[in-house]
Amino acid sequence: MFETLTPQAPDKILQLIGLFNADPRPGKVDLGVGVYKNAEGVTPVMRAVRAAEKLIWDTETTKTYTQMAGEPAFHAAMAELVLGKDYPKDRLAALQTVGGTGAVRMAFEIGRMANPGTTVWVCDPTWPNHLTILDFMKLPRKGYRYFDAATRSVAFDAMIEDLQAVQKGDLVLLHGCCHNPTGANLTLEQWAAVADLLAQKGAVPMIDLAYQGFGDGLEEDAAGTRLIASRLPEVLIASSCSKNFGIYRERTGCLLVLGDTATRAVTQNTLGFLNRQTYSFAPDHGARVVTTVLTDPALRKEWEEELEEVRTGMLSLRGQLADELRRLTNSDRFDFLARHRGMFSRLGATPAQVETMRADSAVYMVGDSRMNIAGLNTNSVPVLARAIVKAGV
């Protein structure tokens, strides 16, 4: 039967990794892979995470299964992190998932179960996996404009115009902060306008919160999500622990579902059912590490301090790159790099210019010119700036 299988489209990031690894040139710069790296090019184990793992090692007495939907302590810790200390416990159902991607997939699944006729509205551009997952699930999707390529900012008027067409029960996918791939975020006033529109239309917001703490701070990065949660009767929130805890390989995520008190029990039951049908029990180690860090005052303080070092480090690199490009071009057209937040920005280069930077300067980024700011360090920023100017961006 396997002769009926056809090759799947290659992953562009994986292809880029292969090209980068095969490049023998010294000083090559990898801005493609979407993981945080420090100045030495390493994704480190955070100090608080290492201490939590040691604590778990010393005290854990069993490796038996936990609960189908995951540990309630993890749900509570994540709900407080995302929604704040006063989150509505009587409205919340939660699911421990295999990474943030698992949370996204489960959000789509429960959305489809609740409303088989739902259409998912996705911003253009968005994280490519959003689109491939929806297409694999054969869920209808529509796009709404989000990014103004000329100004490198949110095309908010166009976004609102497109979202006027959403129907009751549709899912509207929003990036909670640090938009991937552009780095351009909604303001709090714009979040409020989106909330008003979705409430008027009866649509359900689905927020992908993958980078909390990487933009303007833990609380600030959750502000839009919290505003939506406070104003809409039903909300789906997919949260990832890969980036802000640096535990990529532990595959730790959480899906938070807000509804009304009358539907909470059946929603929680359905979430457990989805885990059972997909992979049964979610991995526990990463979730236990996160719970330990968030509930131990000393570990949480250390984690927040280290996360702030990561965040301000990326902001410093953004500022350095914008300043260097201003110096080289005698122009402010790259100042948007300092305004953007998170790991990514879309530079605005053509695919041909991206290829020129790779061929001539050993600078690697995705063909649409999305670049990972965390792939830079103070020494490689001038290399990138010269490559951008040389390629005529």
Catalytic residue numbers? 127, 208, 210, 243
Cβ-count burial 66-78 (b if 16+ within 10 Å, e if not) = bebbbbebbbbbb
**3-class secondary structure per residue, the chain:** CHHHCCCCCCCHHHHHHHHHHHCCCCCCEECCCCCCCCCCCCCCCCHHHHHHHHHHHHHCCCCCCCCCCCCHHHHHHHHHHHHCCCCCHHHEEEEEEEHHHHHHHHHHHHHHHHCCCCCEEEEECCCHHHHHHHHHHCCCEEEEECEECCCCEECHHHHHHHHCCCCCCCEEEEECCCCCCCCCCCCHHHHHHHHHHHHHHCCEEEEEECCCCCCCCHHHHCHHHHHHHHHCCCEEEEEECCCCCCCHHHCEEEEEEECCCCCHHHHHHHHHHHHHHHCCCCCCHHHHHHHHHHHCHHHHHHHHHHHHHHHHHHHHHHHHHHHHHHHHHCCCCCCHHHHCCCCEEECCCCHHHHHHHHHHHCEECCCCCEEEHHHCCCCHHHHHHHHHHHCCC
CB 337 within 8 A of CB 321: yes
* Angle CA 347–189–220, to nearest 5: 70
Residue that is written with structure tokens 């404009």 in the block? 145
CB 170 within 8 A of CB 203: yes
d(CA 138, CA 85): 38
- Contacts for 166 with CB less than 8 Å, ≥ 6 apart: 119, 121, 172, 198, 201, 203
Find residue 45's DSSP bridge partners.
none
Amino acid at 126: T
